[in-house]
Amino acid sequence: MERHPDLANAGDSLLLVIDPQEKLVRMIHNREEVVETIRRLLRFASIFSLPVVLTEHYPQGLGYTVEEVKEALPAYRPVVKRVFSCFGVPEFEEALRETGRKRLLVCGIETHICVCQTVLDALHRGYLVQVVADGVGTRRPEDHVTALERLRGAGATVTTSEALIYEITCRADGEEFKKVLDLVK
Give the integer Cα–Cα distance in Å for 32 and 157.
23
Catalytic (active site) residue 19: yes
Estimate to the nearest angstrom the gap between the alpha carbon of 177 and the chain centroid.
21
Q: What are phi and psi of 51, to 5 degrees?
A: -65, 150
Give me the catalytic one of 86, 107, 114, 116. Answer: 114
23 carries an active-site annotation: no
CA distance 165 to 183: 9
Output the CA angle 109-123-28, nearest 5 degrees: 10
Q: Which of 12, 23, 70, 81 is catalytic?
A: 81
> Cβ distance 132 to 107 under 8 Å?
yes
47-78 burial code (b ≥16 CB/10 A, e <16): bbebbbbbbbbebeeeebbbeebeebbeeeeb
Among 19, 86, 107, 121, the one annotated catalytic? 19
Q: Among all residues, which ones are annotated catalytic?
A: 19, 81, 114
